[in-house]
């Protein structure tokens, strides 16, 4: 897994989630499985099947979180505002309007809140750009962005 840059807040949330899953959810689902076994034949036991499905999901999420946390670094505010980097806030002109994005890792992306992934077509294209640069993400419909400010 490649190194992921995450805000301190997100890292803390992920750590808390991992702790909750390992200390609470894992125990709960193990207890549910044990109880479901008491109902008898597990081949015809829907409670047992549901609990096993949940266990599989919880274990998968624990593994995923452990992997993310192992490979993550705290995203510090970029030292320089000369060029767009992950963590930069970028003000752009697009379609005759102004917009503002923060470039973040995919796991934190949410364009509805102004955070776009460094792996999205636009996010990737903005990386390395300087004020005044114009980028166009081309397909039949072209999307053109002029960089006005890097914070």
Partner 1 sequence: MENFVKFFIEIGKLKFTKRKWYLHGIPKEESESVTDHAFRLALMSWHFSRKRKLDTARVLKISLVHDLCNVYLGEYTPYDKVLTGDQKKDDEIMRVLPRFSKADKERSSREQRDAEERALDKLLSILSNDFGEEIKELWNEYERQNSPEGRFVRQVDQIERLLQALEYNNTGKLNSVNPFWFQVKEWLYDKELIEFIESLDDHFYEGKAGKTHVEKSSN
Which CB sits closer to partner 1, 76 or 100? Answer: 100
CB of 16 to partner 1, least distance (A): 11
CB-based contacts of 41, cutoff 8 Å, min separation 6: none
Main-chain dihedrals φ then ψ at residue 95, nearest 5 degrees? 55, 35
Binding stretches for partner 1 (CB under 8 A) = 13, 17, 53, 56-57, 60-61, 64, 89, 94-102, 106-107, 109-114, 116-117, 119-125, 129-141, 143
Closer residue to partner 1, CB minimum distance, 74 or 121: 121
Which of helix, strand or coil describes residue 42? helix
Runs of H (alpha helix) within 71-129: 121-126
- Match 């597990």 to its residue by tokens: 42
User: Least separation, in Å, of the C-beta of 78 and partner 1?
Assistant: 16
HSE-CB at 69 with a 13 A cutoff on CA atoms is: 17
CB of 29 to partner 1, least distance (A): 13
Nearer to partner 1, 42 or 121 (CB): 121
- Distances in Å between the alpha carbon of 127 and those of 10, 31, 45, 149? 22, 49, 53, 13
Q: In 3D, which of 138, 143, 150 has the Cα closest to residue 91?
A: 150
Nearest distance in Å: CB 106, partner 1: 5
State the minimum distance, in angstroms, from the CB of residue 70 to partner 1. Answer: 16
Nearer to partner 1 by Cβ, of 81 and 133: the residue is 133
């Amino acid at each position: 897994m490649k190194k992921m840059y995450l805000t301190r807040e997100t890292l803390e949330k992920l750590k808390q989630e991992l702790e909750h899953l390992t200390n609470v959810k894992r125990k709960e689902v193990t207890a549910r499985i044990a109880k479901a076994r008491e109902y008898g034949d597990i081949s015809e036991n829907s409670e047992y099947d549901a609990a096993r499905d949940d266990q599989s999901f919880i274990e998968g999420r624990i593994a995923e979180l452990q992997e993310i946390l192992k490979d993550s670094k705290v995203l510090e505010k970029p030292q320089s505002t000369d060029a767009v980097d992950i963590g930069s806030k970028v003000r752009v002109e697009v379609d005759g309007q102004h917009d503002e994005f923060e470039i973040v890792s995919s796991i934190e992306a949410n364009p509805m809140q102004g955070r776009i992934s460094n792996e999205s077509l636009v996010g990737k294209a903005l990386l390395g750009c300087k004020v005044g640069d114009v980028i166009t993400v081309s397909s039949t419909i072209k999307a053109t962005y002029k960089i006005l400010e890097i914070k």
